[in-house]
């Protein structure tokens, strides 16, 4: 679409291009770069065809000319057009158009519907289309050629590269990056810090829990890649149960106390890892589960993280560490309610567990490494890593296991990377099994004997005395094991102790 000089609007400002209420328009020119000969359409038949197609009546669109020529740029330049907005539906073709326009004296303008909400410090480049009901968050960056269709929610610090397209109802959490010319289809949800590569496609209704590389197609809940470089992955729904690395799933066949019970609502318990807690709740909401309360001393912070992506959906927040002493929590109607531990940092007392069934997603391969610092002990003790979905009991991390994913140490991965991967697997486990749990179809099995580590144990295990000898292999493992959240190990020499922090490990190529 072009805009003649006298009717133009300033680039990057709100332009009343289209009002849904009365369909009025400030369009002055419609450009179609497709030749009629290629479409096998004769001009005299245009009037008849316009009744059943999108072709404009008699070559006009709201009284303005339609140019059907590959030389559209030359033609509109001769007509005196100085400002233009490309609405080419194909992302890659639109990118070519915009690149061509940038080589001329034409000025790209943006079209932003008056009902769109643009929060402070958002950066919107020239040449974007933002439809009704969209939200562009704080310090988000929208590059040229981006299409945001009706009701899209782009949260804070998102970066949408040139000519990507986001369809109605899509929600992206904070710090998401959408690559050039990618396409996010209707109703998809992207959790925090997700990156989508250039030219990739996310299917309608997908929930994206991990990054997607360029030129890929991902679908489903959670989203799985079914196409790489235009080649379909025929095995994407068929994990190999005999392959121990990278992941191995285990489900069980002995029912627990709560297997078979049907639940209709969810109470979420959150912790200090705001990103993880918010990601878990985002998955539940994306699957349209009935979350009736967010509980924990960081509940307000978690709510702030996710609330921007919700419309007409306010979830009660109980901000208290000892929530069971709060009258508001005790007035919650527990009948048919399921508790979901989204990273709560403290032991939930038996008085709560006796009245409210709660599932926990523990970032370790139970029954190994119960308790704390599972990544550290997995490296030091050379045990498998993973994530375990289980029912909570009064015995810490010992409840019946519903499902589990494990992976092995490659001898190089750091504790921080293990933590991140385990948390990701926790979210995937919940997304995969929450429906069957709520429907009373879960099948779990009691745990066998395992190992437990308290917070205090790590001090002794990460202390080296100067009068003892250690191998380079052990030292390397120790460095990997403490390379998480700016931790380190201790060297004790002549009665003095020194903390050695391992903040970065880089392989030299």
Active site residues: 156
Cα torsion angle, 356, 357, 359, 365, sign = positive
Cα torsion angle, 448, 386, 433, 347, sign = positive
Distance CA 273, CA 342 (A): 9
Q: How many CB atoms lie within 10 A of CB 5?
A: 10
Radius of gyration (Cα) for the chain, nearest Å? Answer: 28
Distance CA 139, CA 108 (A): 22
The DSSP symbol for 225 reads E
* Chain length of the chain: 509
Residue 155 vs residues 121, 226, 310: alpha-carbon distances, Å = 12, 27, 11
Query: Which candidate, 12, 11, 14, 7, places its Cα nearest to that of 28?
Result: 7
Question: What is the distance, to the nearest Å, from the Cα of residue 190 to the centroid of all Cα atoms in its chain?
Answer: 3
In terms of Cβ atoms closer than 10 Å to its own Cβ (0-12, 13-18, 19+), residue 127 is buried
Q: Which helix (H) or strand (E) holds 268?
A: strand 265-270
Distance CA 275, CA 233 (A): 31
Residue 394 vs residues 349, 357, 397, 454, 508: alpha-carbon distances, Å = 7, 12, 9, 16, 47
SS (H, E, C) 166-222: ECCCCEECCCCEECCCCEECCCCEECCCCEECCCCEECCCCEECCCECCCEEEECCC
DSSP letter string, 364-409: S-TTTTEES-HHHHHHHTT--EEEEEEE--SSTT-SPEEEEEEE--
């Amino acid at each position: 679409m072009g805009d003649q000089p006298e009717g133009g609007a300033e680039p990057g400002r709100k332009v009343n291009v289209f009002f849904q209420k009365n369909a009025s328009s400030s369009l002055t020119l419609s450009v179609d770069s497709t030749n009629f000969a290629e479409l096998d359409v004769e001009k005299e038949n245009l009037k008849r065809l316009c009744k059943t197609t999108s072709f404009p009546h008699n070559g006009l669109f709201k009284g303005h000319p339609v140019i059907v020529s590959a030389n559209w740029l030359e033609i509109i330049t001769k007509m005196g057009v100085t400002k233009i907005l490309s609405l080419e539906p194909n992302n890659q073709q639109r990118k070519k158009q915009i690149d061509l326009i940038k080589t001329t004296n034409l000025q790209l303008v943006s079209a932003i519907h008056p009902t769109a909400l643009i929060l402070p410090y958002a950066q919107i480049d020239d040449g974007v289309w933002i439809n009704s009901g969209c939200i562009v968050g704080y310090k988000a960056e929208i590059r040229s050629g981006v299409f945001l269709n009706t009701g899209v929610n782009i949260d804070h610090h998102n970066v949408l590269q040139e000519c990507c397209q986001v369809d109605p109802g899509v929600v992206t959490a904070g710090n998401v990056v959408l690559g050039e010319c990618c396409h996010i289809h209707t109703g998809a949800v992207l959790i925090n810090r997700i990156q989508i590569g250039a030219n990739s496609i996310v299917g309608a209704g997908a929930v994206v829990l991990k990054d997607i590389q360029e030129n890929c197609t991902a679908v489903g809940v959670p989203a799985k890649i079914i196409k790489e470089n235009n080649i379909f992955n025929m095995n994407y729904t068929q994990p190999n149960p005999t392959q121990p690395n990278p992941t191995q799933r285990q489900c069980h066949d002995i029912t627990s106390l709560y297997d078979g019970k049907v639940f209709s609502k969810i109470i979420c318990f959150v912790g200090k890892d705001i990103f993880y807690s918010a990601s878990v709740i985002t998955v539940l909401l994306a699957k349209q589960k009935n979350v009736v309360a967010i509980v924990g001393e960081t509940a307000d912070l978690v709510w702030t993280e996710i609330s921007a992506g919700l419309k007409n959906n306010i979830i009660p927040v109980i901000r208290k560490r000892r929530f069971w002493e709060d009258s508001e929590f005790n007035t919650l109607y527990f009948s048919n309610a399921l508790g979901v531990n989204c990273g709560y940092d403290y032991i939930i007392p038996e008085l709560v567990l006796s009245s409210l069934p709660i599932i926990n997603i523990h970032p370790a391969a139970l029954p190994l490494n119960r308790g704390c610092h599972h990544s550290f002990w997995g490296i030091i003790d050379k045990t498998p890593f993973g994530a375990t979905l289980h029912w909570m009991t009064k015995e810490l991390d010992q409840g019946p296991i519903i499902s589990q994913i494990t992976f092995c140490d490659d001898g190089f991965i750091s504790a921080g990377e293990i933590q991140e991967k385990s948390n990701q697997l926790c979210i995937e486990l919940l997304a995969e099994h929450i429906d069957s749990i709520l429907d009373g179809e879960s099948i779990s099995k009691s745990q066998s004997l395992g190992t437990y580590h308290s917070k205090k144990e790590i001090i002794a295990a990460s202390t080296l005395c100067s009068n003892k000898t250690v191998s380079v292999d052990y030292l390397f493992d120790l460095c990997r094991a403490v390379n998480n959240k700016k931790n380190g190990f201790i060297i004790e020499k002549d009665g003095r102790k020194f903390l050695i922090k391992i903040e970065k490990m880089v392989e030299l190529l």
